[in-house]
């Protein structure tokens, strides 16, 4: 029994540990700036960009390797299976008028030593290092561009969640109106005061409210889950937005619109294309390098190797190598022209991106003003329709207003509500783009 008791305690403890580990956390976001910070710190793609920048830094260090000398140690042995024969005049050995065929060298030869090499003038390697350095800057600018796009996506999802939640709150009140109107229409039908058409129309309005509520609920859940992905949150965690939409507190200033980070990427690509053009042209430049060897040689008539001090003879040399390309079959010339065209392509793309960005920015500011006016007007209309709905409800209960007129007022109220929410969605979507540029 004692063993069973201990086992029960262990199983309960394990179950408690597992339950504690799988319990979801509640993540609360209090503002749009807090959502931006969290996305920039924990978005999975951000880690990829950091690794790409690190990779570009290593590539730059590798490209600068030409600045340092290269050193290598070597050892080789040669078995001269048949030494070369050199004809020499016989007079040299006291036999004038004859030719003597002599063999020079040893059958076995060993060479060992250290070879040093250094590029003194290599313009192509210099430009390749510059390209590698510019690629670091390009990766950093691409990361900045991604952060801008990330902030825009986060802001749009953030505002869509707030709008969906506001729509759900309105739907609760609308469902009360619609349900009350449906019950009143059924009572009037039993009393013979109204007809079945009015009851059907009230039922249709009630179903429309339920449908709108379901759509808002779907948009809310979809926005929350997609926001989790951008914020790098765990799927099991519950994400809660503390902020509520209040039009009077919305900042609608457009003068804080910053520079489009995507343009800096195009500009950097033009710079890299120009360096690549220079690098290709440098192929025709002279290349100067130095070489040195410090080692020894051993010659033997029989197979074997001796490591004695006097076994190896010193063998050292220092040399300079100057190479000048003269003709390469127009290959380098065509590659240079291709690099020139590539730079022109990058310049055209940058110029077009500048123009397009300027037009989009002008339209963005205008749209912000237009949507702000539309939200203000539709918001006022929505509040007035809500007030009219209350007044007409009293008239209907007092018998002053007919059922058909009351139904039309309720339909106008629902249409005004949809118009207000749609305009508010457009306004905040535009505002999200502006916030991403700040």
Read off the pTM. 0.81
Q: What percent of the chain has pLDDT over 90?
A: 52
Cα 49 to chain centroid distance, Å, stands at: 6
Q: Report helix angle 44-63 to 123-191, nearest 10.
A: 170
Rounded-to-integer distance, Cα 220 and Cα 160, Å? 7
Q: Is 79 a residue whose pLDDT tops 70? A: yes
Ranges 45-59, 80-94, 154-168, 172-186: which has the least confidence: 80-94
Provide the 8-state DSSP code for 302: S
**Residue 10 domain-assigned (yes or no):** no
Is the same domain home to 178 and 279?
Answer: yes
> Are 102 and 134 in a shared domain?
no
- Can you list the positions of beta strands (E) in 261-381? 287-300, 313-323
- Residue 96, helix vs strand vs coil: coil
Q: What are the backbone angles phi and psi of residue 85, rounded to the nearest 5°?
A: -100, 130
pLDDT band, very low/low/confident/very high, at 249 (cuts 50, 70, 90) = low
Overall domain count for the chain: 2
| Token pair listed for 225 | 């889950």
Same domain, 366 and 340: yes
The answer to whether residue 346 is domain-embedded is yes
d(CA 343, CA 337): 10
Confidence of residue 4 (pLDDT cuts 50, 70, 90): very low
Rounded Cα gap, residues 361 and 433, in angstroms? 10
Q: Are both 281 and 395 inside the same structural domain? A: yes
Helices (H), 117-195: 123-191
Question: Do 35 and 165 belong together in one domain?
Answer: yes
Which of 295, 323, 351 finishes a domain?
323
Based on the fold, state whether residues 149 and 205 are members of the same structural domain.
yes
* Best CA proximity match to 222, nearest among 282, 164, 278, 304: 164
Residues 91 and 147 in one domain: no
Please tell me the predicted confidence (pLDDT) of residue 306.
78
Pick from 304, 323, 342: which residue ends a domain? 323
Helix or strand or coil: residue 71? strand
Question: Same structural domain for residues 338 and 313?
Answer: no
Same domain, 281 and 214: yes
Q: CA triplet 185, 401, 169: central angle to 5 degrees?
A: 60
What is the DSSP code string of 355-398? HHHHHHHHHHHHHHHHHHHHHHHHHHHHHHHHHHHHHHHHHHHT
Decide if 103 is inside a domain: yes
pLDDT at 314: 86
Residue 223: inside a domain: yes
Residue 19 domain-assigned (yes or no): no
Q: Name the more confident of 99 and 6.
A: 99
Q: Which of 135, 123, 131, 158 is nearest to 33 (CA)?
A: 158
CA pair distance 120, 115, nearest whole angstrom: 16
Residue 212 has pLDDT above 80, yes or no: yes
CB-count burial class (<10 Å; 0-12, 13-18, 19+) for 398 = exposed
Mean pLDDT calculated for residue range 149-153: 95
Q: What is the CATH number of the domain that holds 220?
A: 1.20.1600.10
Q: Are residues 40 and 50 in the same domain?
A: yes
Strands 70-79, 108-121: pairing is antiparallel
Cα(135)–Cα(200) distance, integer angstroms: 68
Instruction: Establish if 185 belongs to a structural domain.
Output: yes
Q: Tell me the pLDDT of the chain averaged across its residues.
A: 87
pLDDT digits (tens, 9 = 90+) for 347-387: 999 999 999 999 999 999 999 999 999 998 998 999 999 99
Q: Which domain holds residue 58?
A: 25-68+122-286+331-436
51 with 172, same domain: the answer is: yes
Listed range (114-118, 184-188, 220-224) with the worst mean pLDDT = 184-188
Q: Which of 265, 297, 323 is the last residue of a domain?
A: 323
Q: Which class for 241: exposed (0-12), middle (13-18), buried (19 or more C-beta within 10 A)? A: buried
Structural domain includes residue 2: no
Four-point Cα dihedral 92, 94, 95, 101, nearest 10: -40
pLDDT of residue 190: 83
CA distances from 245 to 331, 418, 430, 432 (A): 64, 16, 15, 14
The answer to whether residues 214 and 296 belong to one domain is: no
How many other C-beta atoms lie within 10 A of the C-beta of residue 119?
19
Residue 16 in domain: no
Q: Could you tell me which of 208, 220, 203 has the C-alpha nearest to residue 169?
A: 220
CB-based burial of residue 194 (10 Å sphere; 0-12 exposed, 13-18 middle, 19+ buried)? buried
């Amino acid at each position: 029994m004692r063993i069973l008791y201990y086992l029960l305690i262990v199983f309960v403890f394990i179950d408690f540990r597992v339950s504690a580990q799988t319990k979801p956390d509640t993540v609360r976001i209090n503002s749009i700036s807090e959502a931006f910070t969290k996305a920039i710190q924990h978005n999975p793609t951000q880690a990829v960009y950091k690794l790409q920048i690190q990779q570009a830094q290593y590539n730059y260090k590798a490209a600068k390797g030409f600045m340092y000398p290269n050193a290598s140690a070597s050892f080789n042995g040669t078995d001269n299976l048949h030494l070369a024969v050199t004809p020499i005049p016989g007079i040299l050995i006291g036999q004038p008028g004859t030719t003597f065929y002599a063999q020079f060298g040893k059958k076995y030869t060993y060479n060992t030593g250290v070879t040093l090499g250094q590029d003194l003038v290599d313009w192509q390697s210099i430009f390749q290092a510059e390209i590698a350095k510019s690629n670091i800057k390009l990766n950093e600018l691409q990361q900045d561009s991604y952060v801008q796009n990330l902030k825009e996506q986060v802001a749009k999802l953030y505002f869509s969640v707030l709008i969906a939640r506001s729509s759900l709150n309105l739907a609760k009140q609308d469902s009360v109106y619609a349900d009350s109107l449906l019950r009143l229409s059924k009572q009037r039908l039993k009393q013979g005061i109204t007809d079945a058409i009015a009851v059907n129309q009230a039922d249709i309005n009630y179903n429309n409210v339920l449908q709108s509520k379901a759509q808002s609920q779907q948009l809310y859940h979809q926005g929350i889950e997609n926001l989790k992905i951008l914020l790098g949150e765990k799927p099991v965690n519950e994400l809660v937005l503390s902020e509520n939409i209040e039009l009077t507190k919305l900042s609608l200033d457009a003068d804080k619109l910053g520079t489009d980070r995507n343009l800096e990427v195009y500009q950097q690509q033009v710079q890299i294309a120009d360096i690549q053009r220079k690098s290709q042209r440098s192929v025709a430049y002279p290349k100067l390098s130095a070489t040195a060897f410090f080692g020894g040689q051993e010659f033997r008539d029989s197979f074997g190797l001796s490591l004695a001090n006097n076994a190896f003879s010193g063998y050292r040399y220092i040399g300079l190598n100057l190479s000048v390309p003269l003709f390469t079959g127009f290959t380098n010339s065509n590659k240079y022209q291709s690099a020139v065209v590539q730079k022109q392509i990058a310049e055209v793309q940058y110029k077009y991106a500048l123009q397009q960005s300027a037009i989009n920015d002008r339209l963005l500011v205008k749209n912000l003003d237009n949507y702000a006016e539309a939200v203000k007007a539709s918001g006022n209309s929505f509040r007035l329709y809500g007030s009219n709905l209350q007044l007409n409800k009293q008239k209907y209960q007092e018998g002053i207003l007919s059922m058909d007129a009351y139904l039309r007022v309720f339909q106008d109220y629902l249409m005004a509500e949809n118009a207000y929410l749609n305009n508010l969605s457009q306004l905040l979507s535009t505002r999200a783009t502006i916030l991403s540029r700040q």
